[in-house]
Amino acid sequence: MSNETTAAPRVGFAGLGTMGSYMAANLVRAGFAVTVWNRTPGRAGELLGLGATQAESPAALAAASDIVVACLTDSPQVESVLFGKRGLAEGFAAGSLFIDCSTLSPLKAQEFATRLAPQGVSMLDAPVSGGSEGAKLATLTIMVGGDDRDVARADGVLAAMGKRINHLGPVGAGQWAKAINQVILSGVYLGVAEGVTLALKGGLDAEKIVQALIGGAADSWVLQNRSGRMIDNEYPLGFKISLHRKDLGIGLELAKSVGAVLPVAAMAAGFEDELIAEGHGDDDNSALARAIRRLSGI
């Protein structure tokens, strides 16, 4: 077997925000030759120290890579990085693979895949769940849409960033799953916030209550990892409430398109709109508890 067929792919990473910087670092630590790019300069210092190299543009990033991973804010940013001036599409060679870990509409994911196909470039939509902790520890759940062969080709790259890799169907399926994930999370955050608030209003030791519930039917990732923030009423960044609201909007639009009614998600979206208007958009999503606490007078 030739070196060409056994060599690890060169990996590019676009988007070094809270999640992306950790994900790119884990790719470097896994032994991949990683090139990075970020719209805002100055975010790559730690990655360069780990051994990554920096590209001057998305086009240069694509030209230096066999597989490019992106973790960006929303559809307009992905479209700009892909198809804008000096975008990834200008640098992709035929046979390249684009893995989009951003969260956006399934329809947009399908549109981008269709636009890349004439260049011989394949795409996977692969949004992630697990928060900044999961990104840092490489324990993310990754929801993947795309062709079987492309998923197999991406296996090592995805495994370096996540613990559970779920291939759910063609391009767009990953984004459907992520929208469903965000809809479910909206209810879980509200449920934990209500439980914490009830404990506080009852004069109980809320931390002891939480510990008593862990392992039982009410247990969840949110209960274990975010109830403390709700108790303290302090919400350091893990995943911005403004980004969850954007994701929840995708879920609500999908629901409308298929005739599903999501009353809990709609209520959560309303609370998030109020919190964002009050300047809490950069708080962690657990700041939904602010709304429940306020309604309860604490």
Give the separation between CA 206 and CA 30, rounded to whole angstroms: 40
Collapsing DSSP to helix, strand or coil, 146 comes out as coil
- Could you tell me which of 69, 15, 74 has the C-alpha nearest to residue 44? 15
Residues 6 or more apart in contact with residue 291 via CB below 8 angstroms: 193, 271, 274, 275
* Residue 246 annotated among the catalytic residues of the structure: no
What's the gap between Cα 203 and its chain centre?
Answer: 37
User: Which candidate in 85, 108, 136, 178 is catalytic?
Assistant: 178
Q: What is the rounded (10 degree) CA torsion for 48, 68, 135, 149?
A: -140
Residue bearing tokens 């000096």? 86
Token pair listed for 223: 């209960």
Q: What are 148's two structure tokens? A: 């079987």
Alpha carbon distance 259, 237 (integer Å): 34
Phi, psi of 53 (to 5 degrees): -115, 160
Dihedral (Cα; 31, 34, 39, 45), 10-degree rounding = 60
Are the C-beta atoms of residues 104 and 126 closer than 8 Å to each other?
A: no
The set of catalytic residues is 178
